[in-house]
Amino acid sequence: MSTESYDELEEHKSNKSSDAVERIQSGFIHFKTHKYLKKPSLYNALAKSQNPKFLVFACSDSRVSPAHIVNFQPGEAFEIRNIANMVPLFDKTQHSGTGAAMEYPITKLNVENILVIGHSRCGGIEALMSIEDDAAPNKSIFIEDWVKIGTAAKNRIKQEFGDLSFEEQCTLCEKEAVNVTLANLLSYPFVRERVEKGKLALRGAHYDFVNGTFELWELDVKTTTAFTFS
């Protein structure tokens, strides 16, 4: 590489880095000016403790922010985000990060509601639905094993709606995978105990950012929704 080409590459990298830093700085300034300084009582209270009422599982997808979707305020919801908003079955030796992230808000903060939010055009669900039962493992290091948590949802959709298009099947699986997560949550002793005592409510939801709708349903409901907001 010539010296000129190297210098141009370094300048490009520097500009990209500067753009990223500027975005972070301007974002914080906007937050502090328009939110933090305008609600001193809220942030003073949050500096002392937190008392969230919700534990929210949502996808890591950049288009799906629970705080924006349902307008949660700071201190109102404890959030856990991962690929396809999944929760594995209870196992002390595996997925301990997920277990720890759940145990704290449930047993220490005593949240009263768990909300699992699926969403439209989920890449994790598409990856799950694309896995062939007899195919060799793909080249992903973590993704395929993780999304297989939702295999029961995939199998149900393939079996009952195999005549639909792949896209339509994915949409149905986005919702059914939420139900699998809700069921898996009950495998955690500290979740089941509180649900049985009426201290903790579990709900599923599906956010469609294509059509601007939000569906909400109770734990024991499958694909039939209790409420639809548009």
Report d(CA 211, CA 141) in Å as an integer.
33
Check if the beta carbon of residue 215 is closer than 8 Å to that of residue 117.
Answer: no
The answer to the question of whether 206 is labelled as a binding residue is no
Q: Helix, strand, or coil here: 3? A: helix
Q: Helix, strand, or coil here: 222? A: coil
Q: Could you identify the residue written with the tokens 């449930």?
A: 106
Report d(CA 172, CA 86) in Å as an integer.
15
The answer to the question of whether 170 is labelled as a binding residue is no
Taking residue 37's Cβ as centre, other Cβ atoms within 10 Å add up to 10
Tokens matching residue 148: 């297989």
The answer to the question of whether 133 is labelled as a binding residue is no
The answer to the question of whether 19 is labelled as a binding residue is no
Q: Which residues are known binding-site members for Zn(2+)?
A: 59, 61, 119, 122
Q: Which residues are known binding-site members?
A: 59, 61, 119, 122
